[in-house]
Amino acid sequence: MSVLAGVVGFRGYSGQELVSLLERHPHAQPVLMEHRADSEDRPRPLRFRAPQRIPSTPEAVHQAGLDVVFLATPPEVSMELALPLLEAGAKVIDLSGAFRLRTAENYRRWYKEEHTQPGLLSEAVYGLPEFYREAIRGARLISNPGCYPTAASLAIRPLVEAGVVDLDSGIVCDAKSGVSGAGRKPSLKTHFCEVTENLSAYSILDHRHVAEVLQNAGLEESQFSFTAHLLPIHRGILETIYFRAPGIHSSEELLTIYEKCYAHEPFVRLYDAGGIPSISAVAHTNFCDIGVKFDAATGRAVIVTVIDNLVKGAAGQAIQNMNLILGFGETEGLL
């Protein structure tokens, strides 16, 4: 028997990925939830039917008997829809940044606007299962992590917690993402001719996602320098992370810290010392791969971490969260 999972924002890239993952999930099936016509549908082949469609109203959710609703929407739409949907009895998994920061002040600081549902901030559980699995299981409202912070937090937090990073000289995270991270809405920035054969840096030192990494890894803003870049690829993120680790003697020592932390994690993969993952290793998967390079002579370390921004960075992680809150096996539909 299948649960019904609504998807608001199903025409966007994260929404499409969610629908596609749900169509292959053994215990769930997608329901498309219309919310303001945003763009045209793709042509559908004859005989191969699209999933059921309903409005994104509490009544429709109630009537259709949805168990869970995914919000693949901008923050302002998520703030508008979350409470009514929760009250209609659905679990809500929000893929926007609306509920990721713990305080309304912090939201205002990074999103440059007022939070319209501050009352939900304390209830929302940050959906990074590797760190918050137990809280997720009991949650009613999940805030699915941002794509950049997913990779950065998985790479950085274990090392900061282990106390091996020289925080005085700080951590540099140079992040590169495929274009789907910028959404499906057409703009000059995402025009093919502006992106192909190009690379551009953006949100230098002031990307919204920085706040999440600081929160996850317990860092001060002055300790973490982050720049985002737009890669001429569809999907995938690679982050190159630099820091000093004065007490460390080898790549293996850093790997051991990760191994202790992730030994039983189904979606975090490590490599032998010197083995460095690339984006293609994780494309179309829910894995986060981590590689380590350490220069013993000078105490400098580099971590390379990769995810698919639409899977572990968005829809796949959302499904992982759904599996946890609905009591399915955590990897169902994701391997």
Which residues are part of the catalytic machinery? 147
Residue 88: CB minimum distance to a second copy, A: 32
Q: Smaller CB distance to a second copy: residue 224 or 328?
A: 224
Residue 14: CB minimum distance to a second copy, A: 12
Residue 26: CB minimum distance to a second copy, A: 11
Q: Smaller CB distance to a second copy: residue 35 or 234?
A: 234
Burial class (CB in 10 A: 0-12, 13-18, 19+), 240: middle
Phi, then psi, of 68 in degrees rounded to 5: -150, 145
Residue 125: CB minimum distance to a second copy, A: 28
Q: Smaller CB distance to a second copy: residue 49 or 122?
A: 49
Is the CB of residue 142 less than 8 Å from the CB of residue 321? yes
Cα separation values, 263 from 37, 164, 327, Å = 45, 19, 22
Q: Cα–Cα distance between 300 and 243 in angstroms, integer?
A: 6
Q: Smaller CB distance to a second copy: residue 249 or 284?
A: 284
Is the CB of residue 239 less than 8 Å from the CB of residue 304? yes
What the block records as the tokens of 272 is 């032998």
Please provide the distance, in angstroms rounded to a whole number, between the alpha carbons at the two ends of the chain. Answer: 20
Burial class (CB in 10 A: 0-12, 13-18, 19+), 263: exposed
Phi-psi region of 47 (alpha: psi -120 to 50; beta: other; left: phi over 0): left
Q: What count of other Cβ atoms lies within 10 Å of the Cβ of residue 30?
A: 23
Farthest CA pair distance, the chain: 65
Q: Smaller CB distance to a second copy: residue 122 or 222?
A: 222
Residue 50: CB minimum distance to a second copy, A: 13
Cα separation values, 132 from 100, 135, 159, 218, Å = 13, 6, 17, 15
Residue 40: CB minimum distance to a second copy, A: 7
Q: Smaller CB distance to a second copy: residue 1 or 49?
A: 49
Cα separation values, 214 from 36, 97, 102, 103, Å = 34, 15, 12, 13
